[in-house]
Amino acid sequence: MSNPLSNFSLLPPFDQLQPQQAEPAISELIEQCRAQLEAGLKNPGWDTTLVPLEEAQDSLNRAFSPVSHLNSVLSGPWRAPYEAALAKVTDYWTELGQNRDLYRVYQQLAEAGEFSHWPQARRQAVKLGLRDFVLGGVGLEGGARERFAANSRRLAELGSRFANNVLDATNAWSYHTEDEAELAGLPQTALAAAAAAAQAKDLSGWLITLEGPSFLAVMIHAENRELRERVHLAFVTRASETGPQGGQFDNSAVMEEILALRAEQAKLLGMSSYAELSLASKMAPDCEKVLEFLEDLAARARPAAEREFAELREFAAEKLGLEELQPWDIAWTAEKLKQQRYAVSQEELRPYFPYGKVLAGLFAVVEKLFGITVEEDTSVATWHRDVQFFWLLRDGERIAGFYLDPFARENKRGGAWMNTVCVRRQGAAGLQLPVAYLVCNFSSPAADASSPAAGASPAADAPSLLTHYEVTTLFHEFGHGLHHMLTRVDVAAVSGINGVAWDAVELPSQFLENWCWQPQAIAMISGHHETGEPLPQALLDKMLAAKNFQSAMFTVRQLEFALFDFRLHCRDSGASAGEIQQLLNAVRAQVAVVPVAEENRFQHGFSHIFAGGYAAGYYSYKWAEVLSADAFSLFEEKGIFDRDTGDRFLHSILEQGGSRDALDLFTEFRGREPTIDALLHHSGIVECDETAHE
């Protein structure tokens, strides 16, 4: 019987996939890639070497994609097969990046007289290919070459181990109670979820976990201060040497080895730090520019953040009897202050944002902006009953597809992300459509555990009710998805998000979030889950008034993460766990305004930089937020659904993928280079600072 991972056309046959299929399929496809490379090198050229190699590597990528994905959303049985496949894939790509014969093909193409007349996407693919060969160690000799390859393999292993430790620590902790009084203040949605979590473990009462919806509900709403402290400390000490699971899933040694290997990789390539190596494929010109950007933004935002925290502390003392705010009091107190000031809460908004209505409204917003429609296809096999599959259509023709896995569950990685199933490319069988995974961790529907049959909409029974924060998360991930799916480029290396500078990749995602705050769009994405009535004007006004509540505090928190990440990777060597903590403490002293528990080990769960693609790149969120705010300001001038402006964004940004430099594309859309003013304005920070200077 043939291995379904080795031979499928477009969509992975999830109903046929088994963990034991992963390693044999990946091994077979890698050998096919090697054989194709050997054949192609005998007759060097774009059509004779690079095109057939792309074809073979696309088959490998499409097979590895579901293996990697299933490890993230199901873990358990897919973990070991994924890690075995990851080791083989890492070896292959490292080997390819050091192949000098292939490197010479790229050099010959770039030096050919006709190169300047090639289509832009081909030229950019060659240009970026040459860069990546250098970053992949193609120029290294002997022991250095071998060491670079070994480090690459080990870094892939360590990134996976880091993520596994965080997931295992998250799953391993829970708090069970049969006394509902302990959970006073929790909204009904959270109580229902806690009861369902207990029932799933054959327990009576309620079970609090460290999954996002459960954790946040306690931190924001629980009146029980002791419970807040217990849950907070369990969360901020995950995968560390301290806390209730101290040492059990400890990432200390993992971080130390990752940082040492990254620093060594940079040195092998003749660079001063891993940050310098990271910036070689980003928009930012150098390390000094990134630090200058972050520290300038921190200097502007911190005075406003200090005022916001002073207000919070004063409110806590006067109204709540809390003379000293502890870390587990911050979110709870902020919610109380927000209620007093604006008389609005996420829980009050929740009934007006049922998942199905939000999703339909999101699709309607995108249709008005970019002229595309979305159509569900219930015939497509998925990996879980909650997962839906959709096609994107333009003028009735399918142009892309995506899977949507919206709800939190055990053994599913936390957070939200977009990843690729396959890219748009011109292949031997014709044009391959781009397909994406969109993954979130929303509260699941308060429906019976025997929820709908596979393929049915999760919103068909009792709906999941989203907070407005979760609504913006859905828009954010869909923005990433549009960047991947709406590309017109058909060369894989620069199609969709491929080849896009990492500090520009957040532009479309943060850009789309803006519509979550526009009354015209809110009317499309909201409606009471029982009556369908629109969000009342009074509630809408309160929500919009509260938009920038504590936005400066949020800004400095993001800057804390970004500065910690970048300074950590600016070092010319690795760092011990103690040194990592000292650096984080120093950054907090510079920019943070809220107290932090002594036991806090945020870094041990910072998967973005230790297990994701954001090492020396977390600043990208703020860097791209400048771009997104500035881009949206043009819609504010022209109208938020102005079709001409939507078409400009579509043609200049979304359709271009990585075929041109990100700054050139932004400048083409906006008519000038970006400025920070729109970001400060949208965050309400400028107004705060101007008031302070009067």
Q: Whose CA is closest to 483, among 503, 517, 502, 506?
A: 506
Cα 459 to chain center, whole Å? 24
Q: What is the largest CA-CA distance in the chain?
A: 79
Residue 473 to residue 212: CA distance in whole angstroms:
13
Please report how the helices 620-638 and 287-319 are oriented relative to each other, as an axis angle in degrees rounded to 10.
Answer: 80
Q: Whose CA is closest to 200, among 409, 35, 26, 355?
A: 409
Residue 33 to residue 101: CA distance in whole angstroms:
15
Two structure tokens written together for 68: 């990697």
Contact 479, 511 (CB under 8 A): yes
Any idea which residue has 């990685």 for tokens?
Answer: 413
Active site residue 477: yes
H/E stretch holding 389 reads: strand 388-394
Residue 9 to residue 293: CA distance in whole angstroms:
45
Cα 369 to chain center, whole Å? 23
Task: Provide the residue count of the chain.
Answer: 694
Contact 69, 24 (CB under 8 A): no
Burial category of 496 from C-beta neighbours within 10 Å (exposed 0-12, middle 13-18, buried 19 and up)? buried
Please report how the helices 79-97 and 120-135 are oriented relative to each other, as an axis angle in degrees rounded to 10.
Answer: 100
Catalytic entry in 256, 470, 477, 506: 477
H/E stretch holding 589 reads: helix 577-591
Three-state SS annotation for 422-460:
ECCEEECCEEECCEEEEEEEECCCCCCCCCCCCCCCHHH
Residue 494 to residue 512: CA distance in whole angstroms:
22
Residue 226 to residue 205: CA distance in whole angstroms:
19
How far, in Å, are 54, 222, 307, 320 from residue 317 at the CA level? Answer: 63, 18, 15, 6
Residues 6+ positions from 11 with CB-CB distance below 8 Å? 380, 381, 389, 401, 421, 435
Three-state SS annotation for 31-97:
HHHHHHHHHHHCCCCHHHHHHHHHHHHHHHHHHHHHHHHHHHHCCHHHHHHHHHHHHHHHHHHHHHH
Residue 201 to residue 479: CA distance in whole angstroms:
36
What backbone torsions phi and psi does residue 407 show, to the nearest 5 degrees? Answer: -110, 150
Q: Whose CA is closest to 243, among 654, 602, 523, 593?
A: 602
- DSSP label at 207? E
Residue 668 to residue 496: CA distance in whole angstroms:
18
Contact 441, 212 (CB under 8 A): yes
Residue 2 to residue 675: CA distance in whole angstroms:
55
The helix/strand/coil state of 2 is coil
Which amino acid, residue 618? Y
Catalytic residue positions, numbered? 477
